[in-house]
Chain A
């Protein structure tokens, strides 16, 4: 009688995860595999995705890797064709490729046209190309799930953060448009991870271990995986165009320093 837990199984499903060579992308790929899905792991360079595919196989699922530059629509088309050749179907797409690009941390006047376009292409256009390429194949198998990885920076801005914050915000409304257009066939939702660089020492140091976040710690990559499984599962059939923020409480506040907790008594009546 474990109906609801059975719906979290993904046996027989085929998932493409972009940017799956490390970090959150790898964690999501491995969680999806753990739930029963076969995985196509992609990234621009093959060394790390090969390793991800090996980890998938170690979980007893079929795992393949494909080199793919998501900013190049012909590379995306080839990746999708290769997935179909190997697995014959596509059920789940995780648009995770992206990240900080050259030009981050600069005032606007110091950002070149080229840097702007690379930032937008990597973080937004890649998800558009991949979604466009897989949707007809999802419809062929009666529906599918698209999971786009945005960021707290897609919902709020940061100083000297222009391309990334604009692209991640764009990804949110792109996802809503997918939901409006393909509702019922396809569920398109977003994950907005908070600070998750726990396995990169320099990043952990830069973010001071997440000391300033409400929970007081950084997220662990493996904490993101189950959320991806939930969004890819039968439990989210009516969930569409939405964002789940997994950030240890960060965006619940954000208007005052963490730990800001004043004590203000009610005024004494008639005093």
Chain B
């Protein structure tokens, strides 16, 4: 029996598949049937290695795929990977913006250069990719854009000025684009991820242990627990859903 959630025949691009959440989403989309191209957040070599191994996982699932190291804030890079997705996978139905540049530093010590880089990647990169993918999708009757942001876009954090501001921007960018494209079959939604294993913003073990004591689940999310929502949002079953955030955060935001 074919699942109504199946993504067979769909083509997806996951930017930021070099971090645990992006990677888990790429795998989930492929498991659900999609061909999945993957890209990094920055051109750092470690990211490229992860993206390549993620792409190999796609091939192991018998899906078409390629990996590309990009700087997610670079217009040319982003346009290039979107063009390549269309040419190698045949089209672009789903864009996942999972690019993530973690950064935490006291505000008084944060340089304008650091602020700009954090905002350029975490927010500007989402805009560039959405604009470029939007042009492709609008010309082909629609598609899905899924933006990954964090609880830090909804609540503040000490040392998080730049990161929190950028993350919050992603949520309202999501709403604005959703309204702009609501009648063109192009749905734009976000996943609000809680504290997740392996993500850079957590910092060291001490921070992680503090979080584990605090969270209702007494543990962080596994990346695959975030990824399932992307399958729902990418599928035909969510056609009436746009401009929304699906929060997967283990009750963290329910706290007083």
- The total of Cβ contacts below 8 Å across the A-B interface reads 154
Cβ–Cβ < 8 Å partners of B209 in chain A: none
> Is A206 on the interface with B (CB-CB < 8 A)?
no
Pairwise interchain contact B243-A5, C-beta atoms closer than 8 A = no
Cβ–Cβ < 8 Å partners of B208 in chain A: none
- Given known pairs A214-B242, A247-B240, the reply for A236 and B228 (CB within 8 Å) is yes
Pairwise interchain contact A253-B242, C-beta atoms closer than 8 A = no
Cβ–Cβ < 8 Å partners of A246 in chain B: 238, 240-241, 244
Cβ–Cβ < 8 Å partners of B249 in chain A: 238-240, 242
Q: Which of B64-72, B73-81, B218-226 contacts A (4 or more CB under 8 A)?
A: B218-226
Interface centre among A194, A219, A246, by most chain B C-beta atoms within 10 angstroms, is A246
Pairwise interchain contact A180-B251, C-beta atoms closer than 8 A = yes
A1-56: which have CB < 8 Å to B? 1-5, 7-8, 34
> Is A120 on the interface with B (CB-CB < 8 A)?
no
Q: How far is the CB of B39 from chain A (nearest CB, A)?
A: 21
Cross-interface CB contact of A248 among B182, B218, B231, cutoff 8 Å: B182
> Is A128 on the interface with B (CB-CB < 8 A)?
no
Pairwise interchain contact A5-B242, C-beta atoms closer than 8 A = no
Cβ–Cβ < 8 Å partners of A234 in chain B: 228
B172-196: which have CB < 8 Å to A? 174-176, 178-180, 182-183, 194
Q: How far is the CB of B256 from chain A (nearest CB, A)?
A: 9
- Given known pairs A8-B3, A179-B254, the reply for A238 and B194 (CB within 8 Å) is yes
Cross-interface CB contact of A183 among B4, B216, B231, cutoff 8 Å: B216
> Is A251 on the interface with B (CB-CB < 8 A)?
yes
User: What range describes how many residues of B lie at the interface?
Assistant: 35 or more
A258 to B182, CA, bound (A): 10
Pairwise interchain contact A214-B243, C-beta atoms closer than 8 A = yes
Cβ–Cβ < 8 Å partners of A237 in chain B: 225
A239 to B250, CA, bound (A): 5
> Is B199 on the interface with A (CB-CB < 8 A)?
no
Q: How far is the CB of A13 from chain B (nearest CB, A)?
A: 16
A1 to B248, CA, bound (A): 24
In the complex formed, the residue of A with least CB distance to B243 is A252
A177 to B221, CA, bound (A): 20
A240 to B216, CA, bound (A): 9
Pairwise interchain contact A242-B247, C-beta atoms closer than 8 A = yes
Q: How far is the CB of A9 from chain B (nearest CB, A)?
A: 8
> Is A84 on the interface with B (CB-CB < 8 A)?
no
> Is A241 on the interface with B (CB-CB < 8 A)?
yes
Cβ–Cβ < 8 Å partners of A245 in chain B: 241, 244
> Is A99 on the interface with B (CB-CB < 8 A)?
no
Q: Which of A68-76, A103-111, A133-141, A223-231 contacts B (4 or more CB under 8 A)?
A: A223-231
A61 to B231, CA, bound (A): 25
Pairwise interchain contact A216-B182, C-beta atoms closer than 8 A = yes
Cβ–Cβ < 8 Å partners of B243 in chain A: 214, 249, 251-253
Cβ–Cβ < 8 Å partners of B179 in chain A: 214, 249, 252-253, 258
> Is B31 on the interface with A (CB-CB < 8 A)?
yes
Pairwise interchain contact B183-A214, C-beta atoms closer than 8 A = yes
- Given known pairs A4-B231, A5-B3, A8-B3, the reply for A219 and B240 (CB within 8 Å) is yes
Cβ–Cβ < 8 Å partners of B226 in chain A: 238
> Is B44 on the interface with A (CB-CB < 8 A)?
no
> Is B32 on the interface with A (CB-CB < 8 A)?
yes
In the complex formed, the residue of A with least CB distance to B246 is A244
Q: How far is the CB of A148 from chain B (nearest CB, A)?
A: 13
A239 to B6, CA, bound (A): 21
A179 to B3, CA, bound (A): 29
Known: A238-B248, A252-B174. 4 other contacts (CB 8 A): A4-B227, A215-B240, A219-B240, A230-B237
